[in-house]
């Protein structure tokens, strides 16, 4: 079989990226879908899509199989930019859910495209906090001279190494650490039981507790 014939018979890759306008269309058509927001509770409280369910990525990662049992319909994963939503999609894919979509541009992109959002207390997104913390430490480390402690320069080097590792593994230890800070704990994080219980029961159509 030639490479041309092989490519002609190979199945087309699944399309997982979803633009905001398509999601708005699905909402208007009342499609049977679940919008799952994998950001922290504080980020969710600041701004979220009406009717979406808040299942922070750490909880989703710890209970993927149990959550997957509830996902018997079209799933749209959202976060701040799409990075965490893609991680969630990969987790669900490993659990057999291969039809989840990732919202392009995250919740801010959806709002900018004219989508309806619920707004609460404004907070910096976790990705922005990570950039500020990493950038500040690297700048301090590069300042050099007797004004900066050698320990700070070592820390800056460790941060750079950590960011490289994060990029290579598509994870973010700094983001996880920052999510535990007091200013990011203003909203109550859902427990594992709450995150699972809020989702509709598979096959029943009974809604969970929606925001």
Inform me whether the pLDDT recorded for 4 exceeds 50. no
- Side-chain half-sphere CA neighbours of 107 within 13 A: 26
Give the residue, 135 or 87, on which the prediction is more confident: 87
What does the pLDDT average to over 128-156? 59
Look up residue 204 and give its two tokens.
């029943």
Side-chain-facing half-sphere of 104: CA atoms under 13 Å: 11
Q: Which one has a higher pLDDT value, 88 or 142?
A: 88
Q: Are 38 and 56 in contact (CB under 8 A)?
A: yes
pLDDT of residue 185: 58
Distance between CA atoms of residues 62 and 20, nearest Å? 28
- pLDDT of residue 12 exceeding 60: no
Q: Which of 37-41, 53-57, 98-102, 183-187 has the lowest mean pLDDT?
A: 183-187
DSSP 170: T
Predicted structure pTM score: 0.66
For 62, 145, 149, 189, the CA distances from 192, given in Å and listed in that order, are: 9, 48, 42, 9
* Percent of the chain topping pLDDT 90: 42
pLDDT grade, residue 31 (50/70/90)? confident
Average pLDDT over the chain, rounded to an integer: 77
């Amino acid at each position: 079989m030639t490479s041309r014939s092989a490519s002609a018979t190979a199945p087309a890759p699944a399309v997982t990226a979803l633009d905001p306008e398509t999601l708005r269309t699905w909402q208007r058509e009342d499609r049977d879908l679940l919008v799952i927001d994998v950001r922290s509770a504080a980020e969710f409280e600041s701004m979220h899509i009406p009717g979406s369910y808040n299942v922070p990525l750490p909880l989703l990662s710890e209970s993927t199989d149990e959550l997957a049992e509830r996902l018997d319909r079209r799933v749209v994963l959202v976060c701040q930019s799409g990075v965490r939503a893609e991680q969630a999609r990969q987790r669900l894919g490993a659990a057999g859910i291969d039809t989840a979509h990732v919202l392009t541009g995250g919740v801010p992109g959806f709002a900018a495209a004219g989508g309806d959002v619920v707004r609460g207390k404004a907070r910096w997104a976790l990705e922005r906090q990570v950039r500020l913390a990493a950038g500040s430490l690297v700048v301090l480390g590069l300042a050099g001279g007797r004004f900066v402690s050698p320990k700070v320069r070592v820390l800056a080097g460790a941060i750079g190494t950590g960011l490289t590792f994060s990029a290579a593994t598509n994870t973010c230890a700094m983001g996880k650490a920052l999510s535990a800070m007091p200013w990011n704990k203003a909203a109550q994080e859902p427990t594992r039981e709450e995150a699972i219980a809020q989702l509709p029961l598979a096959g029943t159509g009974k809604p969970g507790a929606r925001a």
